[in-house]
Structure 1
Amino acid sequence: MPHCVPEMVAEVQDGSSSAPDFVYDLCHSRTSANALHSDEHVDFWIEERLARPRLHIIPTPLERLCRWRIDPISGNIRHDSGRFFTVTGVKVRHRTQTAELEWDQPMIDQPEVGILGIIAKKIDGILHFCLQAKEEPGNVNSVQLSPSVQATYSNYTRVHGGSAPPFVNFFLNPPPEKVIFSKLQTEDGGRFLYKSNRNMIVLVDENELPVLPEGFIWLTLRQIARLLLRDNLIHATTRSILSCLVFPLRESEDYRMLRSLPEIIQWLDDQKAFNHLFVKREGLNTLQEWEMDRDGYFSHREGRFFRVIGINVTSAGREVSSWSQPIVETPEKGVIGLLMRVIAGERYFLMQAKPDVGNRSIIQLGPTVQFTPGNYIGNRRLAKPFLFDDFMGSGRFPVISAGFQSEEGARFFREEHLHTVLMLPEGTELLLPPEFRWLNEAQLHFFLHLGESVNSCARSVLSCLL
Structure 2
Amino acid sequence: MPSTVSAMSQKSTENRVFASALAREGARTGTARFLAERRELQSRLWTRTTRVPLAELNGWHCPPEADAFRHESGGFFRIEGLSVHAPDSAVPQWHQPIINQPEVGILGILAKEFDGTLHFLMQLKAEPGNAGGLQISPTVQATRSNYLGLHRGRPVPYLEHFRDPDPTGVLVDVRQSEQGAWFLRKRNRNMVVETTEDVPVLDGFHWLTLGQLHTLLAMDDLVNMDTRTVLACLPRRGPGGAAPGVADDAFTAALWRSLDPASGALHDMRSVLGWITGVRTRTLLRADRAPLSQLPDWTRDEDGLRHRTGRFFDIVGVRVEAAGREVGAWDQPMLAVRGTGLLALLVTPIDGVLHALMHLRAEPGLVDVAELAPTVQCHVDNYEVLPAAARPAFLDLVLNADPAAVRFDTRLSDEGGRFDRVGNRHLIVETGRLPEPPEHRWLPVHQLGALVEHSNYLNVQARSLLACLHALAAPGTTPPHRP
Q: Give TM-score, length-normalised by structure 1.
A: 0.89
1:70 equivalent in structure 2: 62
Please, which of 343, 347, 352 is the counterpart of residue 340 of structure 1? 347
Whether the aligned pair in 1 keeps the contact of 2:228 and 2:464 (CA below 8 Å) is: yes
Aligned residue type for 1:208: D
Q: How does 1:356-371 map to 2 (within 5 A)?
A: 356-371=363-378
Aligned to 1:401: 408
- Which piece of structure 1 moves more, 172-181 or 223-232? 172-181
- Across the two proteins, how many residue pairs are aligned to each other? 443
Q: Report what 1:3 is aligned to.
A: none
Tell me if 1:285 matches 2:274.
Answer: no
Q: Which of the residues 440, 455, 461 maps onto 1:451?
A: 455
List per-residue Cα deviations over 1:6-51 (Å, max 9, x = no partner). xxxxxxxxxxx97111122122212234522222211211222235
Please say if 1:331 is aligned against 2:338. Answer: yes
Taking only aligned residues, the RMSD between alpha carbons, in angstroms, comes to: 2.3
Q: Within 1, Cα distance between the matches of 2:401 and 2:263?
A: 39
Q: Which residue of 2 aligns with 1:352?
A: 359
**Structure 1 counterpart of 2:52:** 60
Q: What's the CA shift for 1:245?
A: 2.9
Gaps of 5+ in 2: 1-7, 241-259, 472-483
In 1, are the aligned partners of 2:110 and 2:195 still within 8 Å (CA)? yes
1:20–1:318 Cα change, 3 Å: closer
Distance 1:64 1:169, change over 3 A: same
Kindly indicate whether the alpha-carbon contact (under 8 Å) linking 2:76 and 2:143 is maintained by their aligned counterparts in 1. no
Please give the per-residue CA displacement for 1:132-180, whole angstroms capped at 9, x wherever unaligned.
0000100001110100001222333446765531111111121211000
Residues 246-257 of structure 1 correspond to what in structure 2 (within 5 A)? 247-248=236-237, 253=261, 256=264
Match status 1:422 vs 2:429 = yes
CA contact (8 A) 1:311 1:324 kept: yes
Instruction: Tell me the alpha carbon deviations over residues 97-141 of structure 1, each in whole angstroms, 9 at most, x when there is no partner.
Output: x76600000000110001100000001111000000000100001
Q: Give the distance between the partners of 1:117 and 1:195, measured in 2 at CA.
A: 17
Alignment-derived partner of residue 460 in structure 1: 464
Distance 1:126 1:152, change over 3 A: same
**What residue is the counterpart of 2:35 in the other structure?**
43
Report 1:63-212 matches (<5 A).
63-71=55-63, 73-96=65-88, 101-158=92-149, 163-205=154-196, 207-209=197-199, 211-212=200-201
SS for the counterpart of 1:276 is coil
Alignment partner, residue 222 of structure 1? 211
Asked whether the equivalents of residues 17 and 236 of structure 2 are also in contact (C-alpha less than 8 Å), the reply is no
Kept in 2, the 8 Å contact 1:119–1:202? The answer is yes
Distance 1:187 1:217, change over 3 A: same
Quote the Cα distance in structure 1 between the aligned partners of 2:68 and 2:388.
27
How far the C-alpha of 1:453 sits from its partner, in A, is 1.1
* Structure 1 Cα separation of the partners of residues 351 and 263 of structure 2: 18
Paired residue for 2:247?
A: none
1:311 maps to 318
Query: TM-score normalized by structure 2?
Result: 0.86
| Equivalence for 1:385 | 392
Match of 2:3 in 1: none
- Relative distance call for 1:381 and 1:68 in structure 2 (3 A) is farther
Structure-2 residue corresponding to 1:234:
223
Structure 1 contact 376–382 (Cα < 8 Å) conserved: no
1:264 aligns with 2:268: no
Matched position secondary structure for 2:16: helix
Paired residue for 1:7?
none
Is the 1:246–1:463 contact (alpha carbons within 8 Å) kept by the matching residues of 2? Answer: no
Partner of 1:19: helix, strand, or coil?
Answer: coil
- Tell me the CA shift for residue 317 of structure 1: 4.4
What do residues 385-407 of structure 1 show as CA deviations (whole Å, max 9, x unaligned)?
A: 00111222353982111010011
Asked if 2 retains the 8 angstrom alpha-carbon contact of 1:179 and 1:201, the reply is: yes
CA distance in 1, matches of 2:87, 2:404: 33
Q: 1:178 & 1:195 partners in 2: Cα distance?
A: 26
Which range is displaced more, 58-67 or 188-197?
58-67
CA contact (8 A) 2:109 2:192 kept: yes
Deviations 1:426-461 (A, max 9, x none): xxx423320000001221111111122100110111
User: Are residues 242 and 387 of structure 1, via their aligned partners in 2, closer, same or farther at CA, if it must alter by over 3 Å?
Assistant: same
Q: Within 2, Cα distance between the matches of 1:218 and 1:351?
A: 33
Picking from 13, 16, 21, the partner of 1:22 is 13
Task: Note if contact 1:309-1:326 (Cα within 8 Å) is conserved in structure 2.
Answer: yes
Moved more, 258-267 or 22-31: 258-267
* Code of the aligned partner of 1:368: T
Structure 1's 63 and 72: CA in aligned 2 closer, same or farther, altered over 3 A? Answer: closer
How much does 1:68 deviate?
A: 1.4
SS for the counterpart of 1:365 is: strand
Question: After superposition, what is the alpha-carbon deviation per residue over 1:72-121, rounded to whole angstroms, capped at 9, x for unaligned?
Answer: 5444211122221110000000133x766000000001100011000000
Moved more, 148-157 or 72-81: 72-81
